[in-house]
Amino acid sequence: MKKELYLIYVHKIGYDYSGNWFYEFIFGESETLKNVDGENWDSTPAKGNPEPPFTEFIKQVGKISTDINLDVVQDSDTFCMYDSVDKVMALAWENIDGLEDYPEPRLAFRFGMPIKEVGDLLYERDLVMECKFELEDE
């Protein structure tokens, strides 16, 4: 039986020549939610210092390519990674600067969101998350 997986990090990889952004959605098990950590996660504010979680916490990675720009907490000049872990703010949210219309729904990804909920939210915007690897059945 496959264990339920939960969002623990959104990694903004960058963008290509055509302006498409690349993101990794990193998931862990429920036990991970209490103990997750990574290099420089204690940087306050984050200011681009936090790295993805240590590999022992990662159970699945999904990736997307999109023209939607997401802001991520690890680039924040105000908040740190643990503010997302404590659910003070999202791990990633849709940047609306320069948009003519407010997006419905506006994308926001919170720490601990079940993987199905992340996939459903992306699907509402015609995005499909491709998995790099999956936790094996026990």
Domain contains 11: yes
The boundaries of the domain holding residue 22 are 6-133
Dihedral sign computed on CA atoms, order 130, 126, 116, 113: positive
Domain contains 1: no
Domain contains 16: yes
| The predicted structure's pLDDT at residue 137 | 46
Domain contains 76: yes
- Count how many domains the chain has: 1
d(CA 52, CA 39): 7
Tell which residue, 78, 61, 77, 70, has the closest CA to residue 110.
Answer: 70
What pTM does this model have?
A: 0.92
| The predicted structure's pLDDT at residue 40 | 95
Domain contains 138: no
d(CA 131, CA 138): 19
Domain contains 90: yes
| The predicted structure's pLDDT at residue 106 | 92
Contact 83, 110 (CB under 8 A): no
136 falls in which pLDDT band (50, 70, 90)? low
3 falls in which pLDDT band (50, 70, 90)? confident
138 falls in which pLDDT band (50, 70, 90)? very low
The predicted model gives 53-82 an average pLDDT of 96
d(CA 130, CA 43): 30
Domain contains 105: yes
Domain contains 121: yes
Contact 68, 107 (CB under 8 A): yes
